[in-house]
A and B are shown apart, each in its own frame.
Chain A
């Protein structure tokens, strides 16, 4: 069966510091990978998605970037965090079938920028 991991689970970082969040998927090959952000009491905002190694699509221009150095690894980064970067960051994967298919989420990382 497939599993998706995210770490760290929680993070408190000062404004201006760098960020690196990691997501890995097990039990599948060549998944589509996604980063979402969720503000408190809000829906999910798609930040980035990737259909293969080195392929990143950005949905929202911002202070963040994403990379996919390996097939089942997806990293969210920032060089300098802003207060507005606080939120719940969720990684997700899908098989990438045409016409849409099930998308599964990781446990999330709670980021607080102080």
Chain B
């Protein structure tokens, strides 16, 4: 299930299940998006990106979906593993700038 922690929403999933992490981005002019994974005490790690001319992009065990109509981004992780436990952030690049705006993040907990 999904719950709100002190600062970060938390998604708990059983090992082997699929995970869906959601992100609402802020600017309709953003046209490039990135998903990051951050483990405790480490810098964010690039997972996958998508441009606004696409609705879907697939990587290894991950899929990113983009719905520009409602400014929504999601990250799907197939067959979630214990090593997937981390905080996941989405980031949007503001069109015409070099700036990236980050979402608040979601903590993913994988239950054995």
A interface residues with partner B (beta carbon < 8 Å): 32, 34, 36, 40-44, 46, 49, 51, 59, 90, 92, 94, 96, 99-108, 110
B interface residues with partner A (beta carbon < 8 Å): 5-8, 31-32, 34, 36, 41-46, 49, 51, 89, 91, 93, 95, 98-105
Find chain B residues with CB under 8 A from A46 CB: 99-102
Given contacts A41-B6, A43-B103, A59-B99, is CB(A102)–CB(B49) below 8 Å? yes
Find chain A residues with CB under 8 A from B31 CB: 99-100
In Å, the complex CA distance between A36 and B51 comes to: 23
CB atoms of B89 and A43 under 8 A apart:
yes
Which one of A96, A103, A106 lies within 8 Å of B100 (CB-CB)?
A: A103
Query: Beyond A34-B100, A46-B101: 6 further Cβ-contacts under 8 Å?
Result: A40-B7, A51-B98, A90-B43, A94-B98, A99-B95, A101-B32
Given contacts A90-B44, A100-B93, A102-B46, is CB(A44)–CB(B102) below 8 Å? yes
CB atoms of A44 and B51 under 8 A apart:
no
CB atoms of B46 and A104 under 8 A apart:
yes
B101 to chain A: closest residue by CB: A46
Find chain B residues with CB under 8 A from A100 CB: 31-32, 51, 93, 95, 100
In Å, the complex CA distance between A92 and B89 comes to: 15
In Å, the complex CA distance between A41 and B46 comes to: 19
Q: List 19 A-B contacts (CB under 8 A).
A: A32-B98, A34-B100, A41-B7, A42-B7, A43-B103, A44-B91, A46-B99, A46-B101, A46-B102, A90-B43, A94-B98, A99-B95, A100-B32, A100-B51, A100-B95, A103-B34, A105-B45, A106-B43, A110-B41
